[in-house]
Structure formats: structure tokens, C-alpha cells
Homo-oligomer: A and B are copies of this chain.
Amino acid sequence: MAANTFGTRFRLTTFGESHGPMIGGIIDGCPSGLALDLEAIQAQMQRRRPGQSALTTPRDEADQVEFVSGIFEGLTTGTPIGFLIKNKDQRSRDYSNVKDSFRPSHADFTYSEKYGRRDYRGGGRSSARETASRVAAGALAAQLLDRQGICIVAYVSQVGSVICPSLPSAPNQIEVDQYLVRCPHSESAAQMQSLIEDARDTGNTIGGKITCIITGVPAGWGEPVFDKLHAVLGHAILSINACKAFEIGSGTQAAFMNGSDHNDAFVRAADGSIQTTSNNSGGVQGGISNGMPIVFYATFKPVATIQVEQQTVNSNGEQIKLKVGGRHDPCVLPRAVPIVEAMAALTLADMMLLQRSQIL
């Protein structure tokens, strides 16, 4: 573990705070010879950026990624790939009310306790701004995986009490992006949007769940015993701001089930491959991919910043009332979709490279 580095053979190290001049990172271990589609990376950045719709924060950040090393004549060279994302919208504002106050369910208090001080401007390093670096690197990792026929698609499957029914098949990104909430089921999407607008209009926020489906992963990836594929995926996903739960396959429903219902029977498919008739395993058995789609779920809490007066404590330990202004998302789920995809891509790119040294 290295705090600001994720991965073993495909590694991302990031830096940067919400209100500094820029954020960015270094990707180390990307194989040489990969032809990068920089526009596709930027397109994924647009899916995460603030201000993209009426459902998101009105902060407008261009989130332009600039690659500054490791690419020559359009191909990766095997050397570290540095990238920068300038912070465009650093408006000079008054931080006096957050400087000495601990916003409820934010990281103000815990960063102060951990480090003895904190950069209080816009949440500093604890801001979700940091996830822009993840999306840039994850979109690059996705291109490495795409060459192997691996496709990662996430979508919003729950907002508040609105739960999207099971889809007949994995949606693609175009289907997901047809709806502002990024739920590819029109009825659910409309209801979710309504809930988010209600939250926004009352200065409140709302939680939800994202489903992610990864197709094309061959059997054999994952590093038991401690680095089982779903354990590292869980690590990756739970490290995203506001994520409260990670489930693989049957997830929390497994608690209710009997073995005779839960077991996934093996069959030989028409193409000769070995498949399972159900997928309660979520594509992972014994911590190793089994060739079926990898299916996982990530629950996100409602955004902690609400436009309502709350009780809290300041840095002197005095009880105070706090009302935080500012521009925030009423629901993080739509913008979290590319972040979930990014962390999944980083995990799988690493697993792909790790597997290369397992057999003679």
C-alpha cells in the first residue's frame, strides 16, 4: 500500500488538491506500443466533469487532460506517462466559515486529526476533484483492455427508493448516456431524475447504487489468496469518495440463499467454452475470473454538502451552527459512473499484466 499509488504492475500515482493550480498523475507500467486515442480519454473526462447537466453542480471545469511524457509518435514507450489537469475554476472566495469548522460527514475533522493541519480550500486533497485523475488514467487503461476485447460499462441502478429492474443484457455506454442520470431504463431514469431534482430544490442530496458489468475477461485473472480479483476490485471501488458498499455477484443477497440455489452450474457452451448457467459468482470464483461477465455493485451515500443549517463543532471544540453554501451535486451517482469504470479498468489492467508471470 502506498496511499496515493494504486496497482502493482499497472500503477497510478496521483497528486493535487481541489484549489491548487492543477492535479494529475503518473501512470507507470503501461506496456509499450499502445496506440492511444486521446480524444476517447477526453470524452470520458467530459462524463465526469462538473457542470455537464442540470443534475450536477454548476461549477464548470473543462478538465482538459494534458499528457506530458511516455508517448512518442502516438505510441506508449513503456516509460512513465505523466499527465496534468489544470484547475480552471479556482475562484477566490471566502473560506472563513469552513477554515475552522468541521463540516458534518466531510473529511475536515479527520484530515486535521491525521495530519495536524489541512488545506481547507474546497476540501483540499479530500475533494472529489481528485477523481478526475483516476478517470484520465482509467480511460487509458480501458484502451489497453479494449485490445483484449474487454468492455467495462457502469450505470446508475438505484437512486433513493427507485431501483432499476434487471436489464435483459449489459447496456453499452451510448444507451447509458441517453439519460442524464445514466440509468438506461427510461421509466427508472425519469423517476430518478425527479428524485434528484426534488433533492436539489430542497437543498438536500440523495444516495444510490451503480451497477458495473465487465465482459470479455478471460478465465484466470486474480491473485489469490489476499489479492483475489473481487477483493482488489472492492478496494478500488471503496476508495472512491462517498462509496459505502461493494458487492460482487449475488452480493448481500447471498445471505438469504441456500447453496443449492446459489451454486452456478457449469455447462459447455455452443462455442466450446465453459460457462455457468447462472452468475451468482459475479464472474469470480476463488478470487479468479471464470470467463463469465464480472458484475459488481457500488453504493454511494448522499453528498454530505447540503444547503441546510447543521449542528457541528469548530476547531476549538465549540458547538456551532453551520450552513455551507457553494456549488455541489445533489446526487453524485451520474458523475460517479465514469469513476467506477476507471477504477475497474485500472484494476483489470493490473490483473492482466500480473497474470503474464504466472505460467512458465
Q: What 1/0 mask marks residues of chain A from 263 to 290 whose CB sits below 8 Å from any chain B CB? A: 1111110001010110011101111111
Q: Is the CB of A226 within 8 A of B258?
A: no
Residues of chain B contacted by A29 (CB below 8 angstroms): 2-3, 357
Q: Given A206-B257, A310-B265, check contact A125 B79 (CB 8 Å).
A: yes
Report Cα–Cα, A204/B218, bound state, in Å. Answer: 31
Residues of chain B contacted by A350 (CB below 8 angstroms): 1
Report Cα–Cα, A223/B116, bound state, in Å. Answer: 14
Residue from B5, B223, B272, B310 in contact with A226 in the complex, judged by beta carbons closer than 8 Å:
B5
Segment with Cβ contacts to B, from A42-50, A169-177, A298-306:
A298-306
CB distance from A339 to the nearest CB of B (A): 12
Residues of chain B contacted by A7 (CB below 8 angstroms): 1
Q: Is the CB of B82 within 8 A of A226?
A: no
Q: Given A1-B223, A235-B235, A246-B238, check contact A263 B109 (CB 8 Å).
A: no
Residues of chain B contacted by A289 (CB below 8 angstroms): 110
Residue from B125, B272, B288, B359 in contact with A33 in the complex, judged by beta carbons closer than 8 Å:
B359
Residue from B77, B206, B290 in contact with A258 in the complex, judged by beta carbons closer than 8 Å:
B206
Residues of chain B contacted by A53 (CB below 8 angstroms): none
Q: Is the CB of A232 within 8 A of B28?
A: no
Q: Is the CB of B301 within 8 A of A147?
A: no
Q: Which residue of B lies closest to A286 (CB)?
A: B107
Residue from B26, B118, B219, B264 in contact with A77 in the complex, judged by beta carbons closer than 8 Å:
B118
Q: Is A227 an interface residue (CB 8 A)?
A: yes
Report Cα–Cα, A219/B108, bound state, in Å. Answer: 12
Q: Is A354 an interface residue (CB 8 A)?
A: yes
Segment with Cβ contacts to B, from A12-20, A55-63, A180-188:
A12-20
Q: Is the CB of B80 within 8 A of A13?
A: yes
CB distance from A168 to the nearest CB of B (A): 23
Q: Is the CB of A231 within 8 A of B224?
A: no
Report Cα–Cα, A32/B357, bound state, in Å. Answer: 9
Report Cα–Cα, A104/B267, bound state, in Å. Answer: 10
Q: Is A353 an interface residue (CB 8 A)?
A: yes
Minimum-distance CB pairs A-B, first 9? A107-B286, A15-B82, A205-B259, A110-B288, A235-B235, A78-B115, A113-B219, A259-B302, A353-B357
